[in-house]
Amino acid sequence: MLTVSELKKEYRNHVAVDGINFTIKEGEIFGLLGPNGAGKSTTISMLSSLLKPSSGTILFRNVPIGDKKGALHKELGYVPQDLALYPEFTAVENLMFFGKLYKIPKRQLATRVYEVLEIVGLTNKAKDKVSTFSGGMKRRLNIACGLIHKPSLLFMDEPTVGIDPQSRNYILQMIKQLNNKGLTILYTSHYMEEVDFLCDRIAILDKGRIIEDGTKDELMRVLQTEEVLVMTLAQIDEGYIEAISQLDSVQSVQVQGTQVFVTLMDKATALKELFHTAEQWNVEVKGIEVSKPTLEDVFLHLTGRTLRD
């Protein structure tokens, strides 16, 4: 449905997006996962024709986007990271405003406004000013604005930032439902859990580059392991870290503060050896936890950093 090739955005002396390639298939939720500053918003702005790429191509249904000069693409919707709402307008007035941008005929628009309010669960706030809304309600209205013209592909840029867990869950469920009804979605986030929950395929973006992509299962295979162990040490001893990195039962070791993330080849042996080595190095292990790896571990494995660094 959407094919992005060698897309690049260079600011004066800084490359924000550095030649990325990906495709979005009709019907899926495609996730762009990356830490702050990775280039997610820059990418989405280019896909939405708000920002001109330095180079590269974006094809939507095999046609370059932005071909029609200045015209809003009727099939594409955009939910910006920064709320694009008029606080002194009511919910309905905001939606009418965006509807007019897309030149939706008046009577059709009046009906559609209430449809999207229903979708985002704000029907009973229709006539209230946005300035009286909670953070979660503003986020939901922001999404409604992106849906007003019934797009077939929706770009969502971190639509849950800065809201309470309940609103977040509401929005995540809503996105699943929209997708179930046929909407194709590009979802960006730095929250691994959200991308994990929502997305069929995921591209991990870091410093303007896609460092890995695929289905969640494919990404997990990067780790070549089923289990991850997190050890909390009283303090980090470089000698100990070096020693456990050499163990055959251990695949990889990453240090974050006083926590040591270890991917295991053989859990039973590894646990024994990690403790034994700790004794040898006189290292105090304060806590230990075995867990299934997550996308966070994949990111850590690939970059040596966490998504929230």
Ligand X SMILES: Nc1ncnc2c1ncn2[C@@H]1O[C@H](COP(=O)(O)OP(=O)(O)O)[C@@H](O)[C@H]1O
Q: How far is the CB of 38 from ligand X (least distance, A)?
A: 4
Give dist(CA 302, CA 249) in Å, integer. 20
What is the phi/psi pair of residue 60, to 5°? -115, 120
Q: Which residue is nearest to Mg ion (CB)?
A: 41
Q: Which stretch binds ligand X (CB under 6 A): 10-18, 56-64, 86-94, 269-277?
A: 10-18
Q: How far is the CB of 94 from Mg ion (least distance, A)?
A: 22
- Which of ligand X, Mg ion, none sits in contact with 16, Cβ below 5 to 8 A by type? ligand X
Give dist(CA 302, CA 161) in Å, integer. 25
Question: Residues 93, 99, 101, CA angle at the centre, nearest 5°?
Answer: 110
Question: Residues 136, 166, 127, CA angle at the centre, nearest 5°?
Answer: 35
- Which of Mg ion, ligand X, none sits in contact with 304, Cβ below 5 to 8 A by type? none
The residue type found at 133 is F
Q: How far is the CB of 208 from ligand X (least distance, A)?
A: 7
- Which of ligand X, Mg ion, none sits in contact with 11, Cβ below 5 to 8 A by type? ligand X
Give residues in contact with Mg ion (CB under 5 A). Answer: 40-41, 81
- Which of Mg ion, ligand X, none sits in contact with 38, Cβ below 5 to 8 A by type? ligand X
Please report the DSSP string for 242-253 in residue order. HHHHT-TTEEEE
The residue type found at 72 is L
Give dist(CA 56, CA 129) in Å, integer. 42
- Of residues 44 and 113, the one with the C-beta less far from Mg ion: 44
Q: Which two tokens stand for residue 63?
A: 């046609």
- Of residues 40 and 140, the one with the C-beta less far from Mg ion: 40
- Which of ligand X, Mg ion, none sits in contact with 42, Cβ below 5 to 8 A by type? ligand X
The residue type found at 14 is H
Q: How far is the CB of 33 from Mg ion (least distance, A)?
A: 12
Q: Does the protein bind ligand X through residue 159 (CB under 6 A)?
A: no
β-pair type (184-189, 29-33): parallel
- Sort 15 into a burial class: Cβ within 10 Å, 0-12 / 13-18 / 19+: middle
- Of residues 161 and 174, the one with the C-beta less far from ligand X: 161
Q: How far is CA 308 from the centre of its chain?
A: 12
Under a CB-based contact definition with an 8 Å cutoff, are residues 41 and 109 in contact? no
- Of residues 82 and 164, the one with the C-beta less far from ligand X: 82
Q: Can you tell me which residue has the tokens 């509401």?
A: 170
Q: How many residues does the chain have?
A: 309
Maximum distance among all alpha carbons in the chain?
78
- Of residues 43 and 179, the one with the C-beta less far from ligand X: 43
Contact string 13-42 vs ligand X (x = CB under 6 A): -x-x-----------------x-xxxxxxx
How many residues sit in the footprint of ligand X (CB under 6 A)? Answer: 11
Q: How far is the CB of 188 from Mg ion (least distance, A)?
A: 7
- Of residues 40 and 73, the one with the C-beta less far from Mg ion: 40
- Of residues 44 and 120, the one with the C-beta less far from Mg ion: 44
Helix (H/G/I), strand (E/B), else coil: 95: helix
- Which of ligand X, Mg ion, none sits in contact with 34, Cβ below 5 to 8 A by type? ligand X
Can you give the binding site for ligand X, defined by CB under 6 A?
Answer: 11, 14, 16, 34, 36-42
